[in-house]
Each structure stands twice: as structure tokens, then as C-alpha cells.
Structure 1
Amino acid sequence: MTDAELAHGLAEEAGKLLLRLREGHEGGKALGDEGDRVANRLILDRLRIERPDDAILSEEEKDNPARCGFSRAWVIDPLDGTREYSEGRNDWAVHVALAVDGRPVAGAVALPGLGLTLASDRPPALIAEAAPLRMLVSRTRPAPEALAVAERLGATLVPMGSAGAKAMAVLRGEADIYLHTGGQYEWDNCAPAAVAMAAGLHVSRVDGSELVYNCADPWLPDLLICHRHRAAEILAFVADMNA
């Protein structure tokens, strides 16, 4: 089994487990906490069997600084969008990714509420941008930079929940730009970055630099995913705002 196939299978399996857990449950914080726990346990138990020599960074595990000495590190968010999951919404995800020497080389983002898993082993064909453009924003905390860029581009806003759901909306043709500056960790964007890159989208930080993973500090606060021909224009707008 390749790394990409493993990521794909784990994300899909964890997503199905989370759907079963949610059936008949009243929801709320208890459901979200349990979802985080059981999905994390499933993914990590399998990784320790299938890839015992690799490091793991998971949102739901105590971080081990020794992982920084490993070339290969799995970066996991077992339930991205816990609030959306516990509210019975569909805009939540499961992230499983592998970073090698800091680069996201394989990954999968399951969207269980939609019955979909998008992964680097079988990336979807890209869909052309819409007119007007569509900019993804947080449904609860839209980033000022994203709102400003949307205004300059004449883009309409598409509110959505988890980071994975937003990133995959670009691949699925539901939106055209995901610009995030509100703060994230490596587990929030490693799998989405791997899948988006495999599909041929532009993926970078908002200053145009590469996303680097398995760092001592997993804080990775900003992200741009869009069609490649659109990237220079958006990056220039952000640079102007920050000048």
C-alpha cells in the first residue's frame, strides 16, 4: 500500500466511524469530544501498525518534540470542524497527510457528510473559475484580509465551516479562492495542501512562501489555495494591504 493509498483509506474509514457515532446522538460538545477521540484512536492505531518508523503529529495527541528528528511525519486532524460535526452539519472533514522533509507529499481529506473523500492518489480534475469569483470565508469569523481581497476582485462570499471543507470546495468547483489569515496549525492544512497540490492548484502561505510541516512549533497561521493563474494577483493584493 502506498502512502497516498494509506492516507486515503484511513481518512475514509475514520469518516465512516464518525457518521456511525453521530447516528441517534443528541449532539453538542460531548459528541464532538467523543468524535475527536475515537477517530484519532483509529487513525493512530493503524499508522503505528502500517508505518511504525514514522513520526506522528495529531491535534488530539500530546506532542512529542522528538518527531522533528524524523524525515517522515504524519500530520493528522481526526475531526476538522468539531463544531459543525456536533451540530449535524456536513462541512466538516477528516485530515490524514504525510510530510517528508517538511513537504506535504501525500494526503486525503474525507468529507463524510457528503460521502466524498478527495485524496492525492486520485485527485479530481479541476473545474474552471466562475464569474464572478467566489471567495471562501469562515461562517463565524471571516478574516479581514479575505473580505478585502474579495471586494477588490468583485468576488462573492461563500461561508463554510472547517478548513478541509473550504479547501476541498475549490477542488470541487464550489468556490474559487480560499484565503485564510486567521490562524491555523499544521494539522488544519497539511492534508488539504497535499490534495490541492496533487490536483494542480496553487498552494502557499499568503506571502507566497511554501508551507513547511513537522516544525517544532506547529503554528501555521495563513494559507492561500486558488487556481495558479490567479495567485500572483491575490498575493499582490495581500502584500499591498500589509505594506
Structure 2
Amino acid sequence: MTELPAADPAAGDHALAGDLAAHAGRLLLGVRDEIGFADARALKDTGDLRAHEYLMSALAGACPDDAILSEEGRASVAGKSATAVAMDGPPTGNTDLAVRLAAERVWIIDPLDGTREFAEEGRSDWAVHVALWEQRPEGRLAAGAVALPAQGATLRTAAEGAVVVDADGERPLLLKPPAPGRLRIAVSRSRPPEFLTRLAERLDGTGTEVELVPIGSAGAKIAAVLLGVVDAYVHAGGQYEWDSAAPAAVALAAGAHASRIDGAPLAYNRKDPRLPDILVCHPGSASTLLTGIRDVTQAPPG
């Protein structure tokens, strides 16, 4: 098992989120090397729980007064320890609901976003999400990081804007506008929303060529938007706060548009953590996409 350093409580929230995500990512690469790909279930569950336990422990040490909401801290995932390698007992649980809802600061984490891709040899479109939500002012994502361990990069918020950290060091994360008359939209590999086909057809009819690009995890999709690999991410197939909090934090810090598919703001630290849909894109494409989405979702198919 990979030994990782404790989180530095003196680090600022942006740096802390980035360090935690990157360290958990290195742990996950070690899990891949240790277990291999023959038993996908054991690999997925071990990766999920080891990254979860590292992040829970590191946050407890660095920010003991903060609340935590993790995908793997739910009671429903307790059975994963039965197939995980070298896990003693169920995962550490999330902060009590009432305490979390009243907390000033809540870390929203997905220790392994894209378990399917993580368990497929050669795939790099999986991620680690670490986000911080603050109660004041008016409830907001205050910091966030998306580690892409198999791609050797971490995208995180900064005091001003957002940055990419990789083998070449740290550099500003600068959005690239889409090419005129063309939109590349990242979609789910396994369950792309049916309306996206109709959206592509509608936009094609208005002179915008659309390419639907399957990518694995939500974090990898949004990172692809921010890095200019694709131009937008549209999803309406069901998600939770931990699926989007960290990548949305980075996207907003970088100046991207990030909202619900009806244009409503993304809201976090709710009683019900379901947050089923999202649109992330360059601000210049937001109006075109929101209008197209509205038209195809309100009109009957056919």
C-alpha cells in the first residue's frame, strides 16, 4: 500500500485541495499496480475505499472542525469492504447530516470518480475530486481540485483563477473558445442522455456541426472542456454533489459557464445530495447550448 504524507493544515484551501487530490491519485495508481486488472470488482472497491480512507483521515487532521460528504462515506457502500483487499471493516462514515447542513465549511469529495475506467487497463479518463463548500457568503464552492492521476495532471482553483499542475510545473488554466461553427460535446460512455442526439441534430440544422465525444468520469469530461480537448459537457442522466462539486469549482474559477441544464445555478450541501444534470462550456457557447437544450427537452420527440 502506498504511503502518503499527511495534509498540511497550514496550506491554503486551494493548495490543500490540490495536494489531497494528487496524493489520493498516486495512491490509486499504486492500487492498480498492486492488484492488477484480473478482478475488476476487487480493484474498484479497493481503490474506492483506500482513497476514501486517506482523504477522510487527511481532512480530519488538517481541518478537524470541517464537515465531510464523501461518496464512499454513505452507509450503502459498507459492503464494499468484503471485496476490497486489506480493508478492515466498513468505511469511515460521513459527517452526521444535521451537523453537515449547519456547518460553515463542508468538504465534498469523490475519492474515485470513474471506477469503471479505473478498472480498465490503459484507460486514463478517471479522476479524484476534492471540493470545499462554504456557508458564507450565500453558500458557494470556495476551492476545488480534480486530479487526473493516469494523465499526470491536477486542475485546481487558485487565489485568482485556476491552474494546471503537471510534470512541467504550474501554469494558469486558460479557456479556449470553440472553433466557429463547431462544438465537441463530451458525453457519458455508458449512458449518454437520449436528448443529446436530438440536440446535435438541432444545432446541426442551425449551422453548428456537433461531435459527441464519449469520455469516462465526470471529472475527466469537465477537465477535457477546461483543457480544450472538447468544448462542452452536457449531462442529464443522474448525478450527485460529489460527481460535480470539485470540477464545477475549477470550471467556475477558470471562467467557464457551469450550471444546471436549464441555466439554474448549481447548489451544494443540500439535504438530498442528488444533483442530476449539468452543463459546462465556454461562456460564449452557453446561450446556444441552453437554448438548444430547452428546445429539445420541451418539445415532444419525433
The TM-score by the shorter chain falls in which range?
over 0.9
Task: Say whether residues 1:91 and 2:125 are aligned partners.
Answer: yes
Larger deviation: 63-72 or 201-210? 63-72
Which residue identity does 1:23 align to in structure 2? Answer: D
Larger deviation: 136-145 or 170-179? 136-145
Between structure 1 and structure 2, the one with the greater Rg is 2
Aligned to 1:54: 66
User: Quick check: 1:103–1:211 contact (8 Å CA) kept in 2?
Assistant: no
Which portions of structure 1, spanning 4 or more consecutive aligned residues, are displaced by more than 6 angstroms? none
Aligned to 2:195: 145
User: Quick check: 2:113–2:126 contact (8 Å CA) kept in 1?
Assistant: yes
Aligned to 2:115: 82
Q: Which structure 1 segments of 5+ residues have no match?
A: none
Which residue identity does 1:105 align to in structure 2? Answer: A
Aligned to 2:7: none
Which residue identity does 2:125 align to in structure 1? Answer: D
Aligned to 1:2: 12
Q: Which structure 2 segments of 5+ residues have no match?
A: 1-10, 75-93, 164-172, 204-208
What are the superposed Cα offsets for residues 91-130 of structure 1, whole Å, 9 maximum, x if unpaired?
0000000011232121000000100100012431112213
Aligned to 1:233: 288
CA distance in 2, matches of 1:208, 1:22: 39
Which residue identity does 2:177 align to in structure 1? Answer: A
Report the aligned-residue RMSD: 1.2
Aligned to 2:217: 162
SS of the equivalent of 1:127 reads coil
User: Quick check: 2:126–2:219 contact (8 Å CA) kept in 1?
Assistant: yes
Larger deviation: 61-70 or 171-180? 61-70
Aligned to 1:65: 97
What are the superposed Cα offsets for residues 153-208 of structure 1, whole Å, 9 maximum, x if unpaired?
32111111000000000011100010110000000000000000011000000111
CA distance in 2, matches of 1:161, 1:40: 20
Report percent identity of matched pairs. Answer: 52
Instruction: State how many pairs are aligned.
Output: 243
TM-score by length of 2: 0.78
TM-score by length of 1: 0.96
